[in-house]
Amino acid sequence: MTIVIEQFSLGGNGPTVMVKDTIDVAGLVTRASSQALADAAPATAHADVVQALLDKGCCLVAKTSLHELAFGTTGINRWTGTAPNPRYPGRIPGGSSSGSAAAVAAGLADFSLGTDTGGSVRIPACCCGVFGFKPTFGRVSRRGVMPTHTSLDCVGPFAASLPMLVSAMQAIDPTFVPVAAPDAPRLGVVKVPASASVQRVIDAAVADSRLPTQAMTLTGLEAAYEAGMVVINRETYDACGHLLETGRVGADIAARLTAAGTTTAQALAQAEQVRAQFTAEVDQALSEVDVLVLPTMPDFPLALVDATDTRAVLGMTAFVRPFNLSGHPALSIPLGSAEGLPVGLQLVGAKGADEQLLAIAGRLLERLYSRHDTVAR
């Protein structure tokens, strides 16, 4: 069971930070928790986000484990070991940024960095009961982050509180300037096929916030999920398919990569059409409300013993992956449940309005804190 895969100390006396091992730290090998990259050459320069952290006086202390090659949602890794879920033992930590979420949940760092290509920050944030944020696509530099070429992936932070998450964004994005939230932001509540237990928590949080709401339907959500799978398959194969020749890629990831290699140009072209349509639909919805609200995950995180069945994990990313395709910023807020298991409340904002999205999250949490003690602070 592994959260930290390499310890070191760089930087000043500011917040302690751990980074996912798809992010270059000069002098260290970026292995992406894959034996196929065990003997790769060390990085020759810091990733832009690492340099930004150092420039802000943060103290970088470790690299964290992940689902191999960032190509999975459970966080299970048989080579490095699977990061434990500190707050919900026996449950999956979520992937792919499993170690980064677990590190924050365990109190090992003030905040951490992950990457989110199809929910890989928001899913582990939900599973481990912490805050996780996917910025607007392209807003945070990805120079020095694996894979080099992507139309989906974003570097994003994890934190145990919203103020620390905001501090993390200020550290990694020099253009991020906090703003005040509207007094009564409008919530667009998106209808989705979540489990009754999860939906009950979401509905209660929305009701308890006493903020104005509007019911919304995103008709392209399912198509965007499928299109997002097509794009990530093609782009991950392009970046990592050559590693299959080493014979050192884990069997589960090798099977996924091999299948991803069959993605056709026609399928990719159709996915791009869906991207344009769904992006326009989300933009239109956000012209009517300030944020969209929906669960991060359709159901509670799986028990580790149930997560080895690939059929059981299908659909975990149904509510998060579409917003990688569209590029909108999205936040997972940790909530509790009567069952004692975590639920994520996902907020989606307009492109480029990352500051407003986090400010609205703060306003919503203020309302919930005044009524409940179960919300993570």
Residues known to be catalytic? 20, 96, 120
Q: Please give the structure tokens belonging to residue 52.
A: 């930004």
Dihedral of CA atoms 194, 200, 205, 211 in degrees, nearest 10, equals: 80
Q: Find, among 112, 150, 153, 152, the residue nearest to 131 by Cα.
A: 112
Structure tokens at 47: 């990733």
Mapping DSSP to helix (H, G, I), strand (E, B) and coil, where does residue 166 land?
helix
For residues 23 and 30, is the Cβ–Cβ distance under 8 A?
yes
Dihedral, 271, 274, 275, 276 alpha carbons, nearest 10: 130
- The H-or-E segment that residue 333 falls in is strand 330-335
Burial status of residue 83 (CB atoms within 10 A of its CB: 0-12, 13-18, 19 or more): buried
| Cβ(334)–Cβ(126) below 8 Å | yes
Length of the chain: 377
Burial class from Cβ neighbours inside 10 Å (0-12, 13-18, 19+) for residue 26 reads: middle
Q: Using the structure block, give the residue that is written with the tokens 């060390």.
A: 42
